[in-house]
């Protein structure tokens, strides 16, 4: 059930092809990596996934938590819902001993938004 709800929210929030959405939810999405914020009626209004992503620094490889598909339904924006989900994601990653969280902002304005959550640009 949660997968279907998150997929529907993805369709509302992103302009991806159905082919990509099917690929993502068949190959990348895992329920244990998904966080969802539900409204009072039980509808998914925000979601994100924390995908495990290995990165190499010098000769050391670490697993990072890549924030993917972070989205809030347009009618539920500006309520602090994504901030709550990101904080929960940090808590979950800390519990899983994941030392670094990464993401790629989809729009220029998101750099400021994610900057308020502690993210900083590391690549040009």
**Mean predicted lDDT score pLDDT of the chain:** 91
Residue 102 has pLDDT above 70, yes or no: yes
In the DSSP assignment, the letter for residue 59 is: T
Residue 113 has pLDDT above 90, yes or no: no
What pLDDT shows up at residue 44? 93
The CA distance from 50 to 66, in Å, is 5
| Token pair for 121 | 């640009």
pTM of the model: 0.86
Across 5-33, average pLDDT: 95
What pLDDT shows up at residue 1? 65
Q: HSE-up of 111 (CA within 13 Å, CB side)? A: 7
Q: What share of the chain is helix, strand, coil (3-state, %, to 5)?
A: 40, 30, 30
């Amino acid at each position: 059930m949660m997968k279907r709800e998150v997929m529907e929210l993805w369709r509302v929030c992103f302009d991806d092809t159905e082919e990509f959405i099917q690929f993502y939810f068949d190959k990348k999405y895992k329920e244990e990596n998904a966080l969802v914020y539900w409204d009072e009626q039980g509808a998914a209004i925000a979601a994100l996934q924390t995908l495990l992503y290995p990165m190499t620094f010098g000769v050391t490889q670490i697993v990072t938590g890549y924030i993917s598909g972070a989205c809030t339904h347009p009618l539920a924006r500006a309520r602090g819902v994504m901030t709550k989900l990101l904080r929960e994601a940090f808590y979950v990653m800390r519990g899983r001993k994941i030392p670094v969280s990464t993401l790629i902002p989809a729009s220029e304005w998101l750099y400021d938004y994610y900057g308020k959550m502690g993210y900083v640009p590391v690549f040009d």
